[in-house]
Amino acid sequence: MGKQSRIAVKALAIGILLIIVYMFLPVITGLVENPPGAAYAILPEHEEFEFLQTINISARSFTINITIPQSSQYQQVYVTDESPYPKTVMKEYNRTWWSYSLTGAAQIKIHYSGETTTAYWRIDHSEGVGAIPQWLKTKYDHPEYLEDSTGKKRYVITPALFTNVTEKITAGKSDVVGKLRAIYDYIVQNFHYKTDRNPNPQTPLETWNNKSGDCDELSFLFASMARSIGIPAWVEYGFLYTGSTWGQHAWIQTAIPYQGTLKYVNIDLTVEVGRKDLGMGFLVRDPYRITEWVEDGNSSHLSSYYHYITYTEPPQLSLSEHISILKMKEIGSVRIYVGPGLPSWLMALIFGVIIFAAVVIIIKM
């Protein structure tokens, strides 16, 4: 075979190699972004839901404000009132609620339906705290309280109390996602979930000392720790499907500076707290939740959300709630990587070396 023929064959071989690489580029990209060796879970991609919320309430006279979830990129929600009572629709500070002012006994029925979507943020490394914009720090990096009808304040987010301990827990982590994961791991490994029907949440210091809390108390602790080192974190409220019913729930939303932008992500402390830490609640939003309201850093607005009923005695307020499941349907599936795998940069290097070696072999043939 002549020299020109050999060159032509080599060029053809390299061309075929590049075509093969191009054909398998989605597979290669997937392996780089989700390296093998990582633990994973399978979640539904979407969840179709339908349920009826029945609230039985009685008092001499009362006002009840029911927060109504709105549609977003993670949920399409349709809500209808099946009650005969007049109501006022209120919309303020990113929250919509139906206000009923009634006397005696009432049964309020609200019908919910729609579809939720799984979200998963694969961020192994991010920018540092300095990349978080000041407006976001100003909005959230401060204490917050709940104020009762007498004007008494109970602080439920207290960053200053946790600065020293959080700095120790996050030592050696230079980026925001690393610091958030360190706080998450510490709470999951050292605290227990405890359901508490007390309408007044315990303070973050009480949660720290008791080494236990419910969903909003653990979220308040996380927010306090994150804010103490300059990372804005706030509480998101809504419904969670537990496998048998929908119940009120709370989890964390925060912002991670990543590749020149902000990624708004979710962290749920109750997914694994007290069990094996796999990161199932870290940067994962499963399709079993519906957001009602994302708190905005304003203590008055937070107090309004918590103190949603006012009433006149006697008699004492009577309140009960029941959820009837009408539909739950899973659609599709998505693989959620929750454990450590090979670094993405190493996978990219491996594929680069393989392609380079193949080209060298072809040239030397």
**What are the average pLDDT values for consecutive 10-residue runs of the chain, which has 365 residues?**
64 73 70 61 95 97 98 98 97 96 97 97 92 97 92 96 98 95 94 80 96 96 98 98 94 96 96 75 95 98 95 92 97 81 62 68 66
Question: Which tens digit of pLDDT belongs to each residue from 40-64?
Answer: 788 999 999 999 999 999 999 999 9
The pLDDT value recorded for residue 357 is: 72
pLDDT digits (tens, 9 = 90+) for 289-313: 999 999 999 999 999 999 999 999 8
Q: What is the pTM of this model?
A: 0.84
d(C-alpha 266, C-alpha 262), whole Å: 13
Sign of CA dihedral 354, 360, 363, 364: negative
Residue ranges of the chain that CATH labels 3.10.620.30: 121-305
What is the DSSP secondary structure assignment for residue 19, as one 8-state letter? H
Helices (H), 58-133: none
Three-state secondary structure of 234-257: EEEEEEEECCCCEEEEEEEEEEEE
- E runs forming strands in the chain: 40-43, 46-67, 75-81, 88-92, 95-117, 119-120, 144-147, 153-157, 192-193, 212-213, 233-241, 246-258, 261-267, 284-285, 289-294, 309-312, 318-331, 334-337
Give the pLDDT score at 339: 61
Whether residue 278 contacts residue 339, with contact meaning beta carbons closer than 8 Å, is answered with yes
Q: Which CATH class is domain 121-305?
A: alpha beta
- On whether the CB atoms of residues 186 and 169 are closer than 8 A, the answer is yes
What is the predicted pLDDT for the residue at 184?
A: 95
- For 53, the token pair is 């919320």
pLDDT recorded at residue 28: 67
